C-alpha cells in the first residue's frame, strides 16, 4: 500500500490517503496539515498502525492503442 498526500485549489491544506496497489482507497485523513511532509508522516504512521497486507492485484499500466505504421 502507498500513502499519498493531496490538496485542492479550494483548500490548500494537505491530507493523507492510503491507497492499495490496485488503486482502491483504504482510508483518508479528516485532519488537515500545513505541509506535505507532515501529512505523509502522519499517513505513514497510520498505515503502520493498521498493519494490513495488500493482497490486491496491481492494475496493469495503460497501453496506448496507437501503433504507428512504418512504411
Distance CA 32, CA 14 (A): 6
Q: Which pLDDT score, from 0 to 100, does residue 57 have? A: 77
CA R_g for the chain: 17
pLDDT in tens, the chain (71 residues): 899 999 999 988 999 999 998 888 999 999 999 999 999 999 999 999 999 888 887 767 666 566 666 65
Q: Which pLDDT score, from 0 to 100, does residue 13 have? A: 96
Q: Which pLDDT score, from 0 to 100, does residue 16 have? A: 97
Distance CA 29, CA 32 (A): 7
Distance CA 17, CA 46 (A): 10
Distance CA 18, CA 1 (A): 7
Q: Which pLDDT score, from 0 to 100, does residue 38 have? A: 97
Q: Which pLDDT score, from 0 to 100, does residue 28 have? A: 95
Q: Which pLDDT score, from 0 to 100, does residue 32 have? A: 96
Amino acid at each position: 500500500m502507498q500513502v499519498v498526500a493531496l490538496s485542492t485549489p479550494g483548500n490548500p491544506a494537505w491530507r493523507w490517503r492510503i491507497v492499495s496497489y490496485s488503486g482502491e482507497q483504504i482510508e483518508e485523513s479528516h485532519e488537515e496539515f500545513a505541509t506535505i511532509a507532515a501529512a505523509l508522516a502522519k499517513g505513514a504512521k497510520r498505515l503502520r498502525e493498521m498493519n494490513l497486507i495488500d493482497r490486491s492485484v496491481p492494475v496493469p499500466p495503460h497501453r496506448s492503442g496507437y501503433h504507428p505504421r512504418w512504411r
